[in-house]
A and B are shown apart, each in its own frame.
Chain A
Amino acid sequence: MAISPARMLVYLILILGSVVMIFPFLWLMRSSLMENGQIFIFPPQWIPAPFMWSNFSEALTTVPFALYFKNTMTIELFAVSGVLITSIMSAYSFARLKWPGRDFIFALLLGSMMLPYAVTLIPTFMLWKSLGALNSFLPLTVPAWFGGGAFNIFLLRQFFMSIPKELDEAAYMDGARPFTVLWKIIVPLAKPALIVVVIFSFIDVWNDFLGPIIYLNSDDKFTLALGLATFKGLYNAQWGYLMAASAAIVAPILLLFFFAQRYFIEGITLTGIKG
């Protein structure tokens, strides 16, 4: 089968684009494994000689990244479970239960997605301050238990609505309560969508930066993202260390992505299509 020039051009552009996309990653990897002398050679070299694996151990121990990892995972645990549980409940309610005011509340929720976070930032901070919860994980975890964000509710609602309603009705006729229907019928059928929610909220917490810088101020409470920013302040020109630390924080997310790629694509597609 001959390839037409037009198709050749399509592949050419796509491959060029891919190279552009990949280059920064290569730059990150090669810098993270180089010693300072080699990093600053012109023209730049791409293969580290020697491979400085010690960059990683040095970078990750000069600042207590193990502790930051523990903190991040603690927040992950409480935030992601909160998002999952409350977004399942509320999406089910919005998708399949009829109650007065439902559509109004849902519209309000969707509207809140467009609200700039800058507006709610200061009063929310003052609220946590007055509760004495600054420099704790509460401001970063408790809000997750209040519905888990409009985005997740919207995503799950879309998915739940695609499950035939007759299933619920049959269960009701047998005397089941909504909780049973949700737990026994909806949740098992919606597993892919639930995984999407877990993955996205995990990444949100992992990447969150503004939250930690506002609420956490003693360095034994820092998260990985905040730790990395602090590290950057301490080792401003030590690019080998900085890249090693960055790579260490990027790597788990990349791994997660490669294992769960399907869910990423589905999740984005699910929310994007309807607009």
Chain B
Amino acid sequence: MFFFVGQTSKKIVPKQRNRGLIRLFRIALQAIIRVSTKRLNIQQDRKGTSRMRTKSSGISRMERKWGIIFALPPILGLLCFTLYPVAASFFYSLTDWSIGNDWQMVGMDNYKTIFTGDPLFRKALYATTYYALGSVPIGLVVAFAVAMLLNQKVKGLSIFRTIFYLPTIVPSIANTILWLWIFNPDFGLLNSMLKSVGLPTSQWVYNESTAIPSLIMMSSWGVGNTILIFLAGLQGVPAHLYEAVEVDGGNRWHKFWHITIPCMTPTIFFNLVMALIGTFQAFNQAYVMTEGGPNNSTLFYVYYLYRKAFTESKIGYASALAWVLFIIIMALTLIVFKSSKRWVHYEEGGR
């Protein structure tokens, strides 16, 4: 074990100049080794010592050593880029720190201000929730419907699949600029089409009441990923289940309701959670297209947080905002997880 410590620290940090990081690295490594040796002792006690000297124990020792070495990058990544920032951001949220000034602990004051004295917070939360409540269900339903259609043994499946997937890979900046042009009230694609068939036009993202619905519409253009995941799920539904329904004289509707939907619930669940987390953190549309306007109607939460942190330099307050969002997302995810026991069916034994 000691040999292994010396070897790795030499191997992995040859040119690291920063002392802090090296120390962090050492501490992390020591902690990991302490935990692993402790576990080892327990195992030895349980198994007795007789089997530990066979050839397979040599292999398992080697696996243990290299397993930890190979997994060091994500372990350190978790420490430096996940656990530390989460802890630090909570600490910041208890301070009144803004870049360039002295700071002091202010307890829960930031949170108090957020909930009682910040009308923009309410605007941001409203805009984000509105957007999520619109785009998540619409996206899921549209994607599911398209996947169902594509699963009907259609000819040219790969062409359709490509077409529906294409919008997803457009870089989001190019995407937002393109849609800004599509939404253009005077010369944009949408109003031009509406005008040509004599329908009333809209101000789209340039009007307070239509801005969010426009963004929801835009988001449903890019559901290609979800379609593909649903399609893969649909193709995995065992054929014998459908045959069983046929034997019992069931029709399409029975198949859909009693086989397809239950078999697809894990996939729906996965897509739902990912979509919720994603939409609650929408940012680019607000930054590039609307700058949160008109009249803060598209002030997405993360965009508001970004402005607080990086334009107003209010690190403490922005961190508190981040934690509020964190708790909201966690609560939502938890609700979905809890409810999943009632509606998500896992096949016995798994795949």
Contacts and interface: CB of A to CB of B under 8 A. Distances in A.
B66 A178 contact: yes
B130 interface: no
B177 A14 contact: no
Interface stretch (A47-55, A101-109, A189-197): A101-109
A254 B71 contact: no
B149 A225 contact: no
B283 interface: yes
Contact of B92 (A31, A99, A122, A178): A122
A253 interface: yes
A2 interface: no
Interface in B208-242: 221, 225, 228-229, 232-233, 236
A126 to B, nearest CB: 7
A40 B187 CA distance: 6
Interface in B23-72: 32, 35-36, 39-40, 59-60, 62-71
B326 A118 contact: yes
Contacts of B318: 122
B14 interface: no
Interface in A84-122: 86, 89-90, 92-94, 97-102, 105, 108-109, 112, 114-122
Contact of B315 (A10, A20, A122, A247): A122
A84 to B, nearest CB: 12
A127 to B, nearest CB: 7
Contacts, number: 279
Chain B binding surface, main DSSP class: helix
Interface residues of B, number: 100
B295 to A, nearest CB: 20
Interface string B151-183: 010100010111111110111111001110110
B164 A209 contact: no
Given A172-B59, A225-B171, A261-B162, A90 B277 contact: no
Contact of A14 (B75, B84, B160): B160
Contact of A93 (B66, B177, B229): B66
A60 interface: no
Contact of A232 (B78, B146, B177, B184): B177
Nearest to A86: B73
Interface of A: 7, 10-11, 13-14, 17-18, 20-25, 27-28, 31, 39-40, 42-44, 86, 89-90, 92-94, 97-102, 105, 108-109, 112, 114-127, 131, 143, 145-148, 150, 153, 172, 177-179, 182, 203, 206-207, 209-210, 213-214, 224-225, 228-229, 232, 239, 242-243, 246-247, 249-250, 253-254, 257, 261, 264-265, 268-269, 271-275
6 contacts: A17-B164, A93-B70, A123-B89, A127-B85, A228-B174, A243-B181
